Structure 1
Amino acid sequence: MKGFKTLVLFAMVLLLSACGDQPIDDFSHTNQRGETVSLESLKGTPWLATFVFTNCETVCPPMTFNMAGIQEELIKKGIEDYKIIAFSVDPREDTPEKLAEYLANFSVPDDSKWNLLTGYSQQEIADFAKENFKAFVKDDPNSNQVVHGTSFYLVDQEGKVAHNYDGFEQVPVDDIVKDLENLIE
């Protein structure tokens, strides 16, 4: 039981440390439409971030489905001032075309808000995820899969992580919508 409590405490520290005043490192990558998306181009707009890849056999499809569900709720509330950023954790495979095909598999209410990014190395995204989101990204040496976290992150207008949430099973949709709405107000 003591080991479990230590594990829970460690997990809480990691979750809390992902929220802070440290701005996200500058980036400039290519989205599924072949457009450049940078931290600078996102300034002034809050955004939801996550990490996925197109040939994921486990968590990515449900996470993308969940993000589309969040977008449905944002539309119902009339919230328009946001973006959704999904960093590919398998940039060698995930071309803009593959990312566009992947997104087309989901009932996304407004794909103009979505930016699935690629155009960097595997090591760069692993370092970026760790340093900016306290997220884990690692190639599985025994398969074509990438091991990565399942969180969604709310990034404020200044490019700082304001909140993080479970993006896989216990997705707090109402909290995400409320937190995003509060950032906009």
Structure 2
Amino acid sequence: MRKKLLLPYVLLVVLILSACSAGGFKADHNYKIAPFEHTNQHNEKVSLDDLKGKVWLAQFVYTVCTAACPPMMVNMTEVEKKLAEEGVEDYKIVSFSIDPAVDTPEVLQEYLEMYDIQDEGKWEMLTGYKQEEIAKFAAKSFKTAVANIPDSVDVMHATNFSLVNQDGEVVKTYNGMTDVPYDQIIKDMKALIKEGA
């Protein structure tokens, strides 16, 4: 008799616990980002420590890229627009230049102005390092490839958007060029921000 009475309560607890965890964030990976301090489009220093405590989306792009980067930038502005529509504010978008010799802060500022940015304060366009350094950094911290193409101004790179948590860890990766999973990105960012609140 006692077991029969206990069963509904056990089921109720299970249901409550599963409902609480359903909206939580689930990481696909946890890549620790190596410390860095680079220069943004305003000629200001931006470090990993400056970004700690915030959720951010990262991408690797360069301004003379004609194939992958323009659609990536357009898609990232679409993510920003959708986040604004959802009232999400506590995040950053960080773009690492993979052609730092060309991409000075001034060039990056002009490049950013070509796109339909909602809030430039959300964007950090980073440069101020050697290309070999950013290639090693991309491989070590983001598990993504950056490499020169022989006899070309082009640089080979992945077309991913990487989601970084408040502790400076890459936790998810999305296609940033085609079939961008906007709804999933927004959902994940909201869940991650809520967890850190």
> Normalized against structure 2, the TM-score is what?
0.83
Match status 1:88 vs 2:90: no
The gaps in structure 1 that reach 5 residues or longer are 1-17
Could you report, residue by residue, the CA deviation over 1:16-49 in whole angstroms, capped at 9, with x for unpaired residues?
Answer: xx95334210000000011111100000000000
Matched, 1:54 2:63: yes
Aligned counterparts of 1:136 and 1:36: Cα–Cα separation in 2: 25
SS of the residue aligned with 2:81? helix
Provide the C-alpha distance between the structure 1 equivalents of 2:115 and 2:167, rounded to a whole number of angstroms. 30
Root-mean-square deviation (Å): 1.1
* Map 1:3-152 → 2, pairs under 5 A: 19-152=28-161
Instruction: State percent identity of aligned pairs.
Output: 49
Equivalent position SS for 2:111: helix
SS in 2 for 1:100: helix
Measure the CA separation in 2 of the matches of 1:120 and 1:66: 26
* Aligned counterpart, 1:172: 181
Check the 8 A contact 2:31/2:142 in 1, yes or no: no
**Runs in 1 of length 4+ with deviation above 2 angstroms?**
18-22
- 1:163 aligned residue: 172
Corresponding pairs, count: 168
Q: Which runs of 5+ in 2 are unaligned?
A: 1-26
Q: How far off is 1:57 after superposition?
A: 1.2
Larger Rg: 2
